[in-house]
């Protein structure tokens, strides 16, 4: 963000490109942060033995969430 802001003069006042850039990258960063928290919670639950061969939906849901974050990143990379 500092490079974009200082060197490229990309600000929220820079028009649609600046607004879109900060919105999409900020939105993606928020999802990565949430995913990191999910991974930490899953790790703690693994250490406590909460998952079994047949009962592990939360683990799968965290994996699905990261696939969603991957797709968002690919879309940002390709279309931006």
> For residue range 31-58, what is the model confidence (pLDDT) as tens digits?
889 999 999 999 999 999 999 989 999 9
Read off the pLDDT of each residue in 1-20 and give the average, rounded to a whole number. 86
Spatial neighbors of 10 by CB under 8 A, at least 6 apart, are 4, 17, 18, 21, 22
Give the whole-number percent of the chain exceeding pLDDT 70: 99
Q: Is the overall model pTM greater than 0.95, yes or no?
A: no
How would residue 80 be classed by pLDDT, with cut points 50, 70 and 90? low
Average pLDDT, the chain: 88
Nearest CA to 79 out of 12, 20, 6, 10 is that of 20
């Amino acid at each position: 963000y500092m490079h974009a802001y200082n060197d490229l003069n990309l600000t929220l006042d820079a028009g649609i490109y600046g607004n879109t850039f900060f919105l999409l990258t900020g939105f993606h960063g928020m999802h990565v942060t949430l995913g990191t928290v999910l991974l930490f919670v899953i790790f703690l639950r693994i250490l406590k033995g909460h998952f079994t061969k047949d009962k592990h939906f939360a683990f799968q849901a965290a994996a699905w969430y990261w696939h969603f974050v991957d797709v968002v990143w690919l879309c940002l990379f390709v279309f931006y």
